[in-house]
Amino acid sequence: MANWTKLSRQALTEVMSIDTWLPETMPEYAQGFMYMLGSLTASSFVALIISGVILAANGPASWSYNGADRFAAAVHFWSVQAFFFFMMLHLWRVFFTGAWRGGRRETWVLGALALLIAIPTAFTGFLINGDFYSQWNAVQAKDGLNALGLAWINLPNAGQMMGMHLVVLPLTLSAIIFGHIVRVRIKGVVPPYPLKQPPHTAERS
């Protein structure tokens, strides 16, 4: 019976393999545009992280008086739109192609979990804008969380929302997306459904 050290080494070897991350060939069916939606989602997330780091380094209000930070804020905003746009298209594509087939159930679960974590991540970013509209939404959402028994999440608290948006939720989302990508690289892209063969007709006598 293999011990945990051997199993961990086998898993790490598979994850860190050069063939896993840089395969020489790709299946023909995976070269279409619809199979690029996952990569576009990940690229949007990278743009989100880079622009978010710039904004966090210069302070949450720097975009209001600094032209360069205003550009970074615009990149951050439109990266959010692109991230959710490509993620939803990717979700529908993998749903209709049965992406859970062939032992890819965990890949599908991680992708769905990434969407669920991305929603509060985006919402907390909206709340730290500090304008009247974001404050109004914070109060309304706080009432909803109180009704669900989640009163410890204080949405009008700008400090708590800043920590959630800059640290807790992005790190959690990054770990989930990384796990999702690792599963995709290990198991490969799910092939299309096999074509149904037409029923054989009886030969005419």
Return the closest-CA partner of residue 52 out of 138, 139, 135, 121.
121
Give domain limits for the chain: 32-83, 98-191
Measure the N-to-C terminal CA separation of the chain; round to a whole number of Å: 63
**Of 77, 58, 78, the residue nearest 68 (C-alpha):** 58
**Mean pLDDT lowest among 109-118, 121-130, 166-175:** 121-130
One-letter amino acid for residue 201 of the chain: T
**Which amino acid, one-letter code, is at 178?**
F
Q: Which residues of 26-48 are buried (b: 16+ CB within 10 A; e: fewer)?
A: eeeeeeeeebebbebbbebbebb
Residue 129 has pLDDT above 90, yes or no: no
Is 0.75 topped by the overall pTM? yes
Check residues 21 and 205 and name the one with the higher pLDDT: 21
